[in-house]
């Protein structure tokens, strides 16, 4: 009786391992498919995406200008102290 139970346990355990490996492979395949689909979708930009990029560039440019102005003010203040 004990041998039969152990053999049954071995069969069930092997089946669980096979199913686990299969699920892992399917999950990996699904992840790769989603990543490839995301890359393909990013190639074509719509008007909202282009507008967003323009806003990002304008904001970055304004930030750079403010930073340069701050440095100029700091330099002028240091020159005034000397």
Q: What is the pLDDT of residues 67-80, one digit of tens each?
A: 889 888 888 888 88
Q: Are residues 53 and 40 in the same domain?
A: no
Q: Are residues 4 and 36 in the same domain?
A: yes
Q: Are residues 36 and 61 in the same domain?
A: no
Which tokens go with 6? Answer: 């152990």
pLDDT band at 56 (very low <50, low <70, confident <90, very high): very high
* Prediction pTM value: 0.42
The domain total for the chain is 2
Segments forming the whole domain that contains residue 56 = 46-82
Torsion of CA 71, 72, 73, 79, to 10 degrees: 110
Q: Are residues 3 and 40 in the same domain?
A: yes
| Cα distance between residue 58 and residue 64, in whole Å | 10
Q: Are residues 15 and 39 in the same domain?
A: yes
pLDDT of residue 75: 86
């Amino acid at each position: 009786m004990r041998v039969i139970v152990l053999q049954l346990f071995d069969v069930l355990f092997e089946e669980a391992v096979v199913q686990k490996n299969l699920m892992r492979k399917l999950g990996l395949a699904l992840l790769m498919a989603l990543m490839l689909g995301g890359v393909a979708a990013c190639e074509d930009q719509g008007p909202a995406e282009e507008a967003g990029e323009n806003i990002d560039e304008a904001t970055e440019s304004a930030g750079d200008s403010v930073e340069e102005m701050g440095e100029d003010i700091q330099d002028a203040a240091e020159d005034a102290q000397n």
